[in-house]
Structure 1
């Protein structure tokens, strides 16, 4: 993404883990980053950490499960920027551990789908006017998972896996709908990363987990859209 204007990026769930690291790496590359976080204290802390390091970062309270919160976040964003170049839907929950679909709690599934699927849809819809104003074309990156790959799926973490498969479908839908608007929409699998979600046994660092997301945000050709990426390579849905 080569441009003379100030690049802007909004990352949901950016107060910790992959989201926070993605914000850091984009800030290092000259982006003005917006730290979307449901938790006010942690969101401000993450934003201040980047600002103290000399980068441009702004905290925006954003709960992706709350339509009012998303619209309020849009209002806050509009006071700081007139366009959005990159939207990264990173916020997600994983609550089902050690269970399979035979005993899946439907309320747990509803919560997971609300956060991991409905949330990104609403965020894209509400921030779309800003993405359409990106001078070089907007980019949307949905942080998915190998667990959401239909071709590789087993019975692990059913609610989370189903939600990420649905998020992949959301990616394809928006990619098709926004192609004429020069907005690229892709899904990224960061791998198994040592975060509060991935756990301490994961074999990847947050730096490694953010690599493909940052690459999709800045380096890949704008014409690449509607694809699922792992380690900067297209992977199977």
Structure 2
């Protein structure tokens, strides 16, 4: 039985991942902690109401605030009653469009996105390391993006979410630094590219339906192991492995 915490769980990928985890039997996933910045959305509240013994909503108003994240970890520790947290999924994030070009991106916009996408993952991970040490899996999955790949910069040149791209490149480096530092403690840190999924952020012209993408994310979250420590992985969607277009979903390592 595993215990899992997912940030950014109020909507989109985070909410779908929580739903997909709850679809598994309690013998596999018995406790899910869904972190939101404010009161749960109707979709999340419905899941809480239907699975009150397995799903707990945890509110952290500012994920980048280490003191608040630390208090949340203590609250969750009390709920677990001596057990540890097995898996942490840092999914919370945001993006800002700058259609007029990179010079139109303000320093404040850049700092805000970096803080929301990278600073929050760092604070939450730091706060929950003690509880993860007590868990059996000791796994942290950081939601990254193919748009953060410097190797493939030309593929996504069309995207004007400059600060988002920069934050995801930083997320990859953050993942590697944690992977190196906690390797001797048998932790597994991975950066995961969820691909282009049909959410409010991804839009309805995206490649993958939300339910399909959520299941593919869940599969990697659960099956990844120590051999994946420090890697940048992509989801696997049958039929998309050799796609000739911009994106392929083969479950393999992404170029940095």
TM-score by structure 1 length? 0.90
Which residue is equivalent to 2:145? 145
Worse-matched range after superposition: 64-73 or 13-22: 64-73
1:28 aligns with 2:23: yes
Which residue is equivalent to 2:73? 74
Aligned pair in 2 of structure 1 residues 124, 54: CA closer, same or farther (>3 Å)? closer
Worse-matched range after superposition: 167-176 or 218-227: 218-227
Q: Deviations over 1:10-39 (max 9, x none)?
A: 000011110111111122223211000002
Instruction: Provide the secondary structure at the position in 1 that maps to 2:218.
Output: helix
Which structure has the larger Rg? 2
Q: Distance in 2 between matches of 1:139 and 1:210?
A: 18
Q: How many aligned positions are there?
A: 230
Worse-matched range after superposition: 161-170 or 219-228: 219-228
Which residue is equivalent to 1:108? 109
TM-superposed CA distance for 1:150, in Å, is 0.7
Which residue is equivalent to 1:160? 164
Worse-matched range after superposition: 59-68 or 160-169: 59-68
After TM superposition, list the pairs within 5 Å mapping 1:202-221 onto structure 2.
202-221=206-225
Q: Deviations over 1:83-140 (max 9, x none)?
A: 11110000001022424322211110000000101110111111001111112x3110
1:235 aligns with 2:254: yes
Is the CA contact (8 Å cut-off) linking 2:40 and 2:57 kept in structure 1?
no
After TM superposition, list the pairs within 5 Å mapping 1:118-197 onto structure 2.
118-135=119-136, 137-154=137-154, 155=157, 156=159, 157-197=161-201
Q: Distance in 2 between matches of 1:52 and 1:97?
A: 41
Q: Deviations over 1:159-213 (max 9, x none)?
A: 0000000000001111111111111000111111111221232222222322343
Q: Distance in 2 between matches of 1:151 and 1:100?
A: 21
TM-superposed CA distance for 1:41, in Å, is 3.4
Which residue is equivalent to 2:57? 59
Which residue is equivalent to 1:98? 99
Aligned pair in 2 of structure 1 residues 47, 58: CA closer, same or farther (>3 Å)? farther
Q: Distance in 1 between matches of 2:126 and 2:140?
A: 11
TM-score by structure 2 length? 0.83
Is the CA contact (8 Å cut-off) linking 2:94 and 2:164 kept in structure 1?
yes
Which residue is equivalent to 2:8? 13
Is the CA contact (8 Å cut-off) linking 2:146 and 2:195 kept in structure 1?
yes
Which residue is equivalent to 2:36? 37
Specify every segment of 5 or more residues in structure 1 that has no aligned partner in the other structure, as ranges: 1-5
Which residue is equivalent to 2:243? none
Is the CA contact (8 Å cut-off) linking 2:176 and 2:231 kept in structure 1?
yes
Is the CA contact (8 Å cut-off) linking 2:48 and 2:56 kept in structure 1?
no
